[in-house]
Structure 1
């Protein structure tokens, strides 16, 4: 027995139109009550309903005969009006069918008045209360379970035989309906024909409930929403029981987010691989490009003036050199774009960045997308400097340019325009990319920066470009804005903080010193022999130049005490890097380490980038011209005098 039922005060309503029977029942209760039961008496159905609706009573003892009506009729009215407490029917009739009728009507028990005893009545009341509490707990449990199913993010459908008998809200939403009524009662064949893609229908299990195994592995299939949009789902059928009947419960899980996340991870991995590849390509191209540019410059400034050739041949030779230098310059620009791309994933603090330079690189990389769709118009305001990161800002602007181009159909270049504007702004500066494309609806505009949301066709966009752009711009302390109108185009605006100084690593090219240069002793350390030869050709008329291809040999000579005025050292070398050489020399002679100038084709590793940000040494970006190299050497020698 439940201690709570035994110890709490029990309020009982007796509905009885015979006073003698009331006395009989009252006396039986007095015998068993012991102060724990309170009896109230009414002699008609209307009064009984009024009392019960107050909610004060725990049990109702109901006479089977109430004048012209039966207790069963009154019980039915009680239930309709919402009273769900336990009811015990009392009767003076000997009829075995009444007991069965009473239980079917919802009575907790049925007692014969002629056999009524205090013990029997007490047992019936305790049983009725316990049974009522059990039913209430079951109802609450069922309600909680149903609420859980209703709130599940995964779709749940239940079929019995060939009919769908239940669908939770998640399933209704998943397939693009407004109400479960549009599904319930539909045959399995009909629903499969509408909502299962033709390619996936053969994959569905055809077992009936009895033949289906207890555990069936989930399967991935394609469903079709009401509007015709395909969607990938994971389907897991399980045999079960619903409303007392065998059924199959179908768990339907939307795989869109999972697939988009997988695509994002693949894309991130691909981008990281491409970034590493781009950095490696840039570095490898920079070495031959560096000595090619240096040799062409040496040919132009030092060799050609000394050659005795007829005027026509001299001009032709100069033209050939100039054309070769132009080609090398184009290759250098491509390499710089690759270097910018390779740095897009670096996590660094914002620094002064020349906006026009980044824009031009982004335009160059997006030119194939733009040229078949629209005219490109530049509307720049001076040489604006932004607090940003060159590679990451380039990634943002490239994405905006490609998006602008893809918003314009091909075939009407003169009728469409992509305009790039830069201007000062109250918060610093603004970069705008305007297009005359299809525009974006107000509904989609509000969701534009949500991850995985895209207005592009399936397979074209991942819905990640703009959220990533917003994250990048926010990391600079800036923000993004967008304005759009369907049929008239869009404007994306990047607002950044302005920077007042040029980057230290991008200091202006050394001006030639007018005074006669002091002759110096210069060590060149580069694992590419042709670069050493090109530098020696450039400098050997004014200076003593020693070239080495091994950093370890250079280390031995430097630590042994051999004197050099300048050490031109490649940053990335296989046996021993320029960073390691700098550390070894600094440990032995800090002053000598300060004379090192790093030749770099791009700091494409995290260690190299951190090293260049840490040390104050000068650096020269490959490829370099003879004028740049001579100016740097002359400046360093002059400052050391």
Structure 2
């Protein structure tokens, strides 16, 4: 059919082997055409097919009897060669059976020559053209709809009865078959057995039409790809018509990306909660640990020398104090690891990070998993500094170390090894975790960083650890590599950009130990009374020490004119923090504000970290040693004199 805009007249091809019938038809057309119809005449089927190949004709008037063949046979050949225009069959006899056959064969109309009139012929041609336009529009609509279905990102399948009769490319890709031929014609029972997880089959609507036709909300089920891997999908169905027959349309939406996002959000929320909890725990432990360490130091340096004990007992007491100090030191190291973990949820820009420091903390946190399975070997290149985030890089390394340990069975420590190696790399630096474990099959290597894929037993792994590690490393501008061989172990490699120097978030200021030039007056402000008491015991032989538990009381005494040479102040306190007290002192006495020393058990808020990075004041991390505290006090008093 030509576009309507191009149809200034109608071209009609008459296929008729009787000249008298040609004249009859021509005259009938002349009386109705009004110059808008052009008639062309051929007297045999082969010539008719040749003319129709040109595509110039809008309507074909076809004699039912042509030599030894029939018009129906010629009509079939026309359709085979691709001509879809309207055909009106003309016959010299009236036969309802032939009329029905003609319509079934695709003829637009069937006219009896003996009753042919200009009006009847005109009406038949108009009807045929309109019918052809309607069919063409329907064909185009179906083609457009089919193209839409083919391009949909969601899977679409159509079943008629018990058989699958259509599947779009998205469904083929989702299931993982190579072509649609593997699916079409398959029975519902066969397809469910192959591609629906056993636990989900009972959830599917059953075969009776009433159940299938019932309106039901989409359901989330687990399907299986051809290779056996599970995939979560949203499944919906609806009754419809396909190729003129009743059917059920199945819509299948891949939920993998949504599930990944949900899992990451849950994990991120969990990590944020754990980070906050870890920071709080670290801060709360640091307070009692601080006065414990300070009191042990005071006991060792000030009390024991003055005790009149027999030589042997003096040595025993000193050993007990040393053992207690060792235990406190181990607790302090654990707290520092918790503080690093508490910063793992920070989304800060990458900054220079000491790689060895991060690895040592990660090894300590993973040591319980490692010690029963393998020897740990450190192979570190000194002074490697990476562009990263300390807490998040630590999270990556803990995960890799635990994975390495879990790849090795327990009980063979001497025969197995986990080697942590650092070295320079063309792209910056590389950190490797090598194990002598079971190794990873080659077919699984490409899927290791795919969310929810895990080679661990059910209940041991979620399949999210490595994808999250990869996301973290990528966020630093780095990348991850893996090498593995079954039976020989695996190597996971983290490649990062190198940085010029470490910029600690809480840079400690080293104390220069000098002899005190004078006795100082020192104010200690800490909401934990035992810390104030411990500091007073440590310093009171050399200085006058005033210990307060309220920053507001300290502010009142300072603004009233009471003089102090030095202020030792806790950073995080209720009602009024050390930061707020610093601002108040700076407004009243800027010089004294510069001589404030901050005692911190973990600056676990963004404001506190920003404050410590901004002010030049000295700070002391809890727990602190008596020697460290005395040395700092002496150096500051000497500088102020």
Question: Structure 1 length normalisation: TM-score?
Answer: 0.91
Give yes or no for the alignment of 1:535 onto 2:535: yes
Assess, with a 3 A threshold, how the Cα gap between structure 1 residues 159 and 26 changes in structure 2: closer, same or farther. Answer: same
Tell me which moved more, 582-591 or 595-604: 582-591
Residue 299 of structure 1 is matched in structure 2 by 299
Tell me which moved more, 381-390 or 459-468: 459-468
Q: Is the 8 A contact 2:440 2:485 kept in 1?
A: yes
For the residue of structure 1 that corresponds to 2:209, the secondary structure is: coil
Assess, with a 3 A threshold, how the Cα gap between structure 1 residues 199 and 431 changes in structure 2: closer, same or farther. Answer: closer
Deviation at 1:549, TM superposition (A): 0.4
Residue 492 of structure 1 is matched in structure 2 by 493
Q: Is the 8 A contact 2:164 2:183 kept in 1?
A: yes
- Write the mapping of 1:351-362 to structure 2, written as runs, cut at 5 A: 351-362=351-362
Deviation at 1:283, TM superposition (A): 0.5
Residue 523 of structure 1 is matched in structure 2 by 523
Per-residue CA deviations over 1:393-416 (Å, capped at 9, x if unaligned) read 211211221232233344433333
Q: Is the 8 A contact 1:437 1:490 kept in 2?
A: no
Instruction: Determine the C-alpha separation between the residues in 2 that align with 1:126 and 1:487.
Output: 80
Q: Could you list the runs of 5+ residues in structure 1 that have no partner in the other structure? A: none
Tell me which moved more, 111-120 or 126-135: 111-120
For the residue of structure 2 that corresponds to 1:215, the secondary structure is: coil
Residue 608 of structure 2 is matched in structure 1 by 608
- Write the mapping of 1:39-188 to structure 2, written as runs, cut at 5 A: 39-188=39-188
Instruction: Determine the C-alpha separation between the residues in 2 that align with 1:484 and 1:256.
Output: 27
Assess, with a 3 A threshold, how the Cα gap between structure 1 residues 352 and 178 changes in structure 2: closer, same or farther. Answer: closer
Q: Is the 8 A contact 1:155 1:252 kept in 2?
A: yes
Deviation at 1:191, TM superposition (A): 4.4
Instruction: Determine the C-alpha separation between the residues in 2 that align with 1:640 and 1:40.
Output: 117
Residue 506 of structure 1 is matched in structure 2 by 507
Q: Is the 8 A contact 1:5 1:130 kept in 2?
A: no
Instruction: Determine the C-alpha separation between the residues in 1 that align with 2:551 and 2:189.
Output: 76
Assess, with a 3 A threshold, how the Cα gap between structure 1 residues 193 and 501 changes in structure 2: closer, same or farther. Answer: closer
Deviation at 1:377, TM superposition (A): 0.9
For the residue of structure 2 that corresponds to 1:203, the secondary structure is: coil
- Write the mapping of 1:272-311 to structure 2, written as runs, cut at 5 A: 272-311=272-311
Instruction: Determine the C-alpha separation between the residues in 2 that align with 1:222 and 1:535.
Output: 63
Assess, with a 3 A threshold, how the Cα gap between structure 1 residues 621 and 14 changes in structure 2: closer, same or farther. Answer: same
Deviation at 1:534, TM superposition (A): 0.8
Instruction: Determine the C-alpha separation between the residues in 1 that align with 2:127 and 2:580.
Output: 88
Residue 557 of structure 2 is matched in structure 1 by 557
Instruction: Determine the C-alpha separation between the residues in 2 that align with 1:348 and 1:296.
Output: 38
Per-residue CA deviations over 1:291-334 (Å, capped at 9, x if unaligned) read 00111111111211222211111111110010000000000011
Assess, with a 3 A threshold, how the Cα gap between structure 1 residues 529 and 606 changes in structure 2: closer, same or farther. Answer: same
Q: Is the 8 A contact 1:59 1:129 kept in 2?
A: yes
Per-residue CA deviations over 1:414-473 (Å, capped at 9, x if unaligned) read 333221112233444332222233444555544544555555455544443334333433
Q: How many residues align?
A: 639
Q: Is the 8 A contact 1:396 1:472 kept in 2?
A: yes
Q: Is the 8 A contact 2:154 2:171 kept in 1?
A: yes
Per-residue CA deviations over 1:521-578 (Å, capped at 9, x if unaligned) read 2111110000011111111122221111011111112222322222111111122111
Deviation at 1:476, TM superposition (A): 3.5
Deviation at 1:287, TM superposition (A): 0.2
Give the RMSD, CA atoms, in angstroms: 2.8
Instruction: Determine the C-alpha separation between the residues in 2 that align with 1:442 and 1:611.
Output: 51
Q: Is the 8 A contact 1:439 1:490 kept in 2?
A: no
Per-residue CA deviations over 1:1-45 (Å, capped at 9, x if unaligned) read x99379544332222222333333333334444444333222211
Residue 431 of structure 1 is matched in structure 2 by 431
For the residue of structure 2 that corresponds to 1:505, the secondary structure is: coil
Deviation at 1:384, TM superposition (A): 2.8
Q: Is the 8 A contact 1:5 1:129 kept in 2?
A: no
For the residue of structure 2 that corresponds to 1:506, the secondary structure is: coil
Per-residue CA deviations over 1:71-96 (Å, capped at 9, x if unaligned) read 11000011112211211112222223
Instruction: Determine the C-alpha separation between the residues in 2 that align with 1:49 and 1:55.
Output: 10
Residue 617 of structure 1 is matched in structure 2 by 617
Q: Is the 8 A contact 2:260 2:451 kept in 1?
A: no
Assess, with a 3 A threshold, how the Cα gap between structure 1 residues 429 and 640 changes in structure 2: closer, same or farther. Answer: farther
